[in-house]
Structure 1
Amino acid sequence: MSGGQYSQLPIWSAWQTPARRPRGVLAFLKYFIPTVALVVLGVFVIWEPHVEMVFYDRKWINKEILPITPLRGCFKPALTSPAYNVSDGLYGPRRTEVHAGMSMQAGLDCYDFAGTIQPSSAAVDPSLPRTTYHTYWRTDLAPFTERQEWTLKSFFATQHSHSRLIMWSNGDLSTNALLRSYVERYPGRFELRTADVHELSKGTELENSPLLTSQDKKAWLDGDLIRLLVVYLEGGVWVDMDTLLTRDISPLLEHEFVTQWDCYDKIYQALNGALMHFRKHSPYLCEMFHLMVTSTPPRSSSTDWGAILYLRLWRRLVAEGVPPFKILPFCFSDGRACRLDNRLPDPFEEDPSDAHWSFGLNRTEGGGLDQKLGKVFAVHLHNQWDKQFPSGGWVERLLLKRYDQKLGATHSRDEL
């Protein structure tokens, strides 16, 4: 082919010519790569990208999530415990509304929605059974010290006096001097118990199940299973030990509920059991036990199996026309799990010099952050037991000091 003929070829044809292709590619990359780098840099300077990618195996979705098997029938009269009033539990009148109908990711809407739930003006009837709260501490995880004590302080400083807290454990905690001091100070309101899953499961579908002895699933046994068994046995509220309560939960207790995992609307992992409430012998829990027995066992060291369990049950309930349990919005107990511009500040980082939080609000006493904390019910700390709250930080100023003031600070470590 002559040079004149070649010069008449279209540009795309010249690009295809083997002799020109390497130089053409290099020339293209020479300008393309710097341009992309500048664009990416500009994006991070001007905008604040929020990117989250999760990949789910379609085979797993089609096998574990989408199929809806029948309920066991725990809401039917023949299987419902006399301790549970189905008419009231499912259809009784309610004073509060905990469903906003949207994810409330914008601004501080979730915190303000929490503030619409006001405490009841009615006096507590002391003749009625106490509201029972449950929590759990693994003796093989770490010693129980002042760091864990803040959860106890938060309970006794914020929850109504007509309530009690049971601390369950996989070992004997009665020899711990710090915990013994609480037993002595709050007789009838604080109790230590050992959680024996074989005893707790008696009378449930999990009794004698091989799931109770699966040592390779310890995270599931100590996490998802224990909380459901003890709440089924006694009824009441479950609170994870890595939680600081901020106000009385009583206004929520007309509902049975789990919580929203975060504000991102995860399709398959939207729910969380760090804070939950069910009545004694609740058919909801009965149906959860049935799903545990009939579903694929959790993976070893599973931390998301509970979230999947609650979703599975929710879908089966609505499929059979049973009103489902409620789902508390994320900020009610886990305001840290949302957008960068409206999540609670990191509890373990020092406050900035300007005491700024978000949307023009500050972290001072009586300031914007303080007001929002007064509307939500808890702050979930996510098991960061190796970290300490910074001196003078917002957690110390707006929560911890107030717990001590409310309790009179009479059971500090120095006085034990």
Structure 2
Amino acid sequence: MILWSNGDLSKNPWVSAFLRTYPDSFSTKVVDVDFLARDTALARSSLLHRKDERAWVDGDLVRLLVTWEHGGVWIDMDSLLTRDLSPLLEHEFVTQWDCYDKIYQPLNGALMNFYKHSPYLCEAFHMMAQSPAPRPGTTDWGSTLYLKLWRRLIAAEIPPFKILPFCFSDGRSCRLDNRLPDPFLPDPKNWGGGRSLAEGRELDDVLGKVFAVHLHNQWEKIFPPDGWVQRLLLQRYERKLGGDTLRPPET
């Protein structure tokens, strides 16, 4: 696992605990877009340094460049994994956005998988280089790009990358009658169309059938004490990873 950032996070007390404990399987790297793009259609392009206040344009660029360079799964940091992703990895894919009743956004890169130097990503970089510059605060290099690429492949009779159904990673962003409970509110008595949260293991079973819970940039919110996120996910992470051994020193 590589934690990518635009600054050095290796001295962060939370991150350094994982670096000490898992030196052979966890590392941090600082993004160098010029280096990552050196063998793509965007090499030496001024587009590489486009930014916006939301970090949508530059963030969407980084996920494509990193996946192109290394291959593998990209996971946004506002996601909580619920199970091993191995069953998904025989395919290259992006994720269906969600099923909210809102302006339709078809595809999402918060969870995506592409092979190293994937032809799909190679074509995406050509499209980016040949198109108008991305508009700040838009998904021009994210959802919109993925959809244009998918349609271009279909039009050319080339089998496209797969689209992972939203429910596998975005089950809290759906209709009120079947979504996961809100992770930032105290546990409700009922969820998902009347199912009881206090009785049985239905929610636990559902979390075992999906792969992630995407939180959509809600960094300022906290999880309620002993809520379902704490009980069914975070406490299990602690037990699996070593508990108190991974806690940063008191400051």
- Greater C-alpha radius of gyration: 1
Paired with 2:56 and 2:212, the residues of 1 have a C-alpha distance of 24
- How does the TM-score come out when normalised to structure 1? 0.57
Residues 80-95 of structure 1 aligned to structure 2 (within 5 Å): none
Secondary structure (helix, strand or coil) at the match of 1:383 reads: coil
Residues 258-407 of structure 1 aligned to structure 2 (within 5 Å): 258-263=94-99, 269-303=105-139, 305-352=141-188, 355-364=189-198, 366-407=200-241
Shift of the alpha carbon at 1:292? 0.6
Residue deviations 1:287-309, cap 9 Å, x none? 11011111222211224641010
Shift of the alpha carbon at 1:362? 2.3
Residues 14-413 of structure 1 aligned to structure 2 (within 5 Å): 165-216=1-52, 219-263=55-99, 269-303=105-139, 305-352=141-188, 355-364=189-198, 366-409=200-243, 410-413=245-248
Between Structure 1 and Structure 2, how many residues are aligned?
250
Counterpart in 2 of 1:127? none
* Equivalent pair of 1:217/1:298 in contact (CA under 8 Å): no
Secondary structure (helix, strand or coil) at the match of 1:331 reads: helix
* Equivalent pair of 1:263/1:338 in contact (CA under 8 Å): yes
Residue deviations 1:161-209, cap 9 Å, x none? xxxx100110111221221121111122101100010111001111011
* Equivalent pair of 2:57/2:139 in contact (CA under 8 Å): no
Paired with 1:218 and 1:340, the residues of 2 have a C-alpha distance of 28
Q: Percent identity?
A: 64
Distance 1:406-1:317 versus aligned 2 partners, 3 A rule: same
Which range is displaced more, 258-267 or 313-322?
258-267
RMSD over equivalenced CA pairs, Å: 2.1
Give 2:91's aligned amino acid.
Answer: H
Bigger fraction of residues in strand:
2
Task: Name structure 2 gaps, 5 residues minimum.
Answer: none
* Equivalent pair of 2:57/2:136 in contact (CA under 8 Å): no
Give 2:221's aligned amino acid.
Answer: K
* Equivalent pair of 1:220/1:298 in contact (CA under 8 Å): no
* Equivalent pair of 1:361/1:367 in contact (CA under 8 Å): no
Residue deviations 1:24-49, cap 9 Å, x none? xxxxxxxxxxxxxxxxxxxxxxxxxx
Shift of the alpha carbon at 1:213? 2.3
Paired with 1:326 and 1:216, the residues of 2 have a C-alpha distance of 29
Shift of the alpha carbon at 1:344? 1.2
- How does the TM-score come out when normalised to structure 2? 0.93
Counterpart in 2 of 1:102? none
Bigger fraction of residues in helix:
1
Residue deviations 1:87-130, cap 9 Å, x none? xxxxxxxxxxxxxxxxxxxxxxxxxxxxxxxxxxxxxxxxxxxx
Which range is displaced more, 229-238 or 176-185?
176-185
Paired with 2:198 and 2:249, the residues of 1 have a C-alpha distance of 29
Distance 1:195-1:366 versus aligned 2 partners, 3 A rule: farther
